[in-house]
């Protein structure tokens, strides 16, 4: 079974620029999550999709972050404009049922300078 | 609101020694509990999970964890640590179908 694919692996941008991350979940997994992991902290949920609908985006900074999951498969997370404090690893995860344990991708490490 | 506390930020053990990583959770109902491991530059790998039933859960790589409701704890253990176990370990809780809430992690260093 293929895992959760994420790209790019690394990204360095200047503050106020925009950036986008892509995630392809495990085939058949209806639920997709984006987490932000700042250095020295545990991952924090940004947004949860069930198929192509948003279940929870309460911790997504909507003034600069946006996410979509077209056709209930791939997902894109965008930051515009980026701030220094957005430097983090962005993890995508998917699951068939929320309680069964999630499969995480390797993440995208974003550095904002 | 659910929360997880991992009291130990860093732990150092000698190879071959036993290991226990502490995790305390806060959740109003029966929790679903997880332990994940993260190596540098890698994503999170599931070690084990507890949903119900036997409170002693066996996982991969020789790890086990015990759910103690009275202490709101889910500590991770391993009888004999290998150098390859050096990584960061995260405890997480969810109510089922909902978001995972993670602790801040424990960085494990193994001395040869």
**Mean pLDDT lowest for which of A81-90, B52-61, B77-86?**
B52-61
Q: CA-to-CA distance for A49 and B70, rounded, in angstroms?
A: 34
Is there a contact between B96 and A107 if contact means CB atoms under 8 Å apart? no
Residue B96: predicted pLDDT: 62
Confidence of residue A99 (pLDDT cuts 50, 70, 90): low
Is there a contact between A104 and B43 if contact means CB atoms under 8 Å apart? yes
- Mutation target for A interface from B5, B99, B101: give the one with most A CBs within 10 A: B99
**pLDDT of A100 higher than 80:** no
Question: What confidence tens digit (pLDDT) does each residue in B7-53 have?
Answer: 999 999 999 999 999 999 998 788 899 999 999 878 899 999 998 88
Contacts of A97 in chain B (CB under 8 A): 97
Who has greater pLDDT, B27 or A108? A108
Q: Is B88 in the A-facing interface, judged by CB distances under 8 Å? A: no
Q: Is B39 in the A-facing interface, judged by CB distances under 8 Å? A: no
For A94-103, what is the mean pLDDT? 72
Q: Which tokens sit at A103?
A: 């499969």
Residue A47: predicted pLDDT: 96
Cβ-nearest to B100 among A41, A45, A105: A45
Who has greater pLDDT, A102 or A78? A78
Residue B4: predicted pLDDT: 95
What phi, psi does B62 have (nearest 5°)? 80, 10
For A27-32, what is the mean pLDDT? 90
**pLDDT of A98 higher than 60:** no
Question: What confidence tens digit (pLDDT) does each residue in B59-112 have?
Answer: 999 999 999 999 999 999 999 999 999 999 999 998 766 678 999 999 999 999
Residue A2: predicted pLDDT: 74
Average pLDDT, chain A: 92
Confidence of residue A96 (pLDDT cuts 50, 70, 90): confident
Is there a contact between A99 and B104 if contact means CB atoms under 8 Å apart? no
Cβ-nearest to B44 among A48, A104, A109: A104
Question: What confidence tens digit (pLDDT) does each residue in A43-76 have?
Answer: 999 999 998 899 999 999 999 999 999 888 999 9
Contact B63, B47 (CB under 8 A): yes
For A24-31, what is the mean pLDDT? 91
Contact A67, A60 (CB under 8 A): yes
**What SS3 string covers A13-59?**
ECCCCCEEEEEECCCCCCEEEEEEECCCCCCEEEEEEECCEEEECCC
Percentage of chain A beyond pLDDT 70 is: 95
What phi, psi does A27 have (nearest 5°)? -55, 130
């Amino acid at each position: 079974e293929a895992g959760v694919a994420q790209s790019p692996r690394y990204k360095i941008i200047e503050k106020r620029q925009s950036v986008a991350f892509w995630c392809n979940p495990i085939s058949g997994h209806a639920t997709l999550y984006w987490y932000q992991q700042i250095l020295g902290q545990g991952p924090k949920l940004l947004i949860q999709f069930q198929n192509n609908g948003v279940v929870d985006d309460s911790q997504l900074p909507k003034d600069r972050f946006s996410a979509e999951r077209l056709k209930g498969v791939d997902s894109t997370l965008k930051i515009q404009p980026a701030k220094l404090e957005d430097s983090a690893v962005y993890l995508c995860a998917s699951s068939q049922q929320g309680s069964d344990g999630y499969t995480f991708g390797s993440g995208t490490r974003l550095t904002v300078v | 609101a659910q929360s997880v506390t991992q009291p130990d930020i860093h732990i150092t053990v000698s190879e071959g020694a036993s290991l226990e990583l502490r995790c305390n959770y806060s959740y109003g109902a029966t929790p679903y509990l997880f332990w994940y491991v993260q190596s540098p530059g890698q994503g999170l790998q599931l070690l084990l999970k507890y949903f119900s039933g036997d409170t002693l859960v066996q996982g991969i790589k020789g790890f086990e964890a015990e759910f103690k409701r009275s202490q709101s704890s889910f500590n991770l253990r391993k009888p004999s640590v290998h150098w390859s176990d050096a990584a960061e370990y995260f405890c997480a809780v969810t109510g089922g179908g909902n978001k995972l809430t993670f602790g801040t992690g424990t960085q494990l260093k193994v001395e040869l």
